[in-house]
Copies of this chain bind each other. A is one copy, B any other.
Amino acid sequence: MADIRVCMFFAVLLVFVAEANVQHEKYNARPAVVATSGSPWPLPRNMTTSQVQYQVNADDFKFTVDAGTPACDIIIQAFVRYKWITFGPRSDTLKFRRRPNKANAVNQLTVHYDKPCDQYLSLESDESYTLAVTGNTATLTANEVWGALRGLETFSQLVLPQGSGMFVINSTLIRDAPRFKHRGVLLDGSRHFLSVLKLKENLEAMAQNKFNVFHWHIVDDQAFPYESIRFPNMSKLGAYDDNHIYSQADIQDIIEFARVRGIRVVPEFDSPGHTQSWGSAISNLLTKCYNNGSFDGSYGPVNPADESSYNFLDSFFGEVANVFPDHYIHLGGDEVDFSCWESNPEITEFMQDKGFGKNYSLLEEFYMQNLLNIVSSYKKGYLIWQEVIDNGAKVAADTVVEVWKGGYIAELAKVTSLGYKTLLSSCWYLDYISYGSDWRNYYTCDPQNFNGTSAQKALVIGGETCLWGEYVDDTNVISRLWPRASAIAERLWSDESVNSVSAAEGRMEEHRCRMVRRGFNAQPMNGPGFCPVEFP
Contacts and interface: CB of A to CB of B under 8 A. Distances in A.
Interface of A: 26-32, 190-193, 195, 221-224, 236-241, 243-244, 276-277, 279-280, 431-436, 469-476, 479, 516, 521-525, 527-530, 532, 534-536
A521 B435 contact: no
Contact of A191 (B433, B522, B528): B528
Contacts of A237: 26-28
B475 A524 contact: yes
B536 A190 contact: no
A475 B516 contact: yes
B534 A471 contact: no
A29 B224 CA distance: 8
Given A277-B29, A433-B434, A241 B475 contact: no
Contacts of A472: 523-524
Nearest to A188: B528
Given A29-B241, A530-B192, A521 B471 contact: no
Given A434-B434, A527-B470, A534-B195, A476 B27 contact: no
B475 A525 contact: no
Contact of A475 (B236, B240, B523): B523
Nearest to A436: B471
B529 A28 contact: no
26 contacts: A28-B224, A28-B279, A28-B280, A30-B221, A30-B222, A30-B276, A31-B222, A31-B240, A192-B530, A193-B534, A222-B529, A432-B435, A436-B471, A470-B524, A470-B528, A471-B524, A471-B525, A472-B524, A473-B523, A473-B534, A474-B535, A475-B516, A475-B522, A475-B535, A476-B479, A476-B521
Q: Which of A190, A244, A469 has the most CB of B within 10 A?
A: A244
- Specify how many copies of this chain sit in the oligomer: 2
Contacts of A30: 221-223, 276-277
A317 to B, nearest CB: 21
A536 B536 CA distance: 15
B192 A529 contact: yes
Nearest to A435: B432
A234 to B, nearest CB: 9
A528 B277 CA distance: 13
B238 A28 contact: yes
A449 to B, nearest CB: 25
Nearest to A234: B28
Contact of A431 (B26, B239, B435): B435
Contacts of A534: 193, 195, 243, 473-474
Contacts of A244: 530
A485 B28 CA distance: 33
A396 B502 CA distance: 48
Given A193-B534, A527-B191, A528-B190, A471 B29 contact: no
A-B CB proximity, top 7 nearest: A28-B280, A475-B521, A191-B528, A240-B530, A222-B528, A476-B479, A29-B240
A475 B479 contact: yes
A222 B29 contact: yes
A277 to B, nearest CB: 5
Nearest to A431: B435
A282 to B, nearest CB: 11
A190 B535 CA distance: 16
Contacts of A473: 523-524, 530, 534-535
A523 B238 CA distance: 23
Nearest to A531: B473
Contacts of A522: 475
B191 A476 contact: no
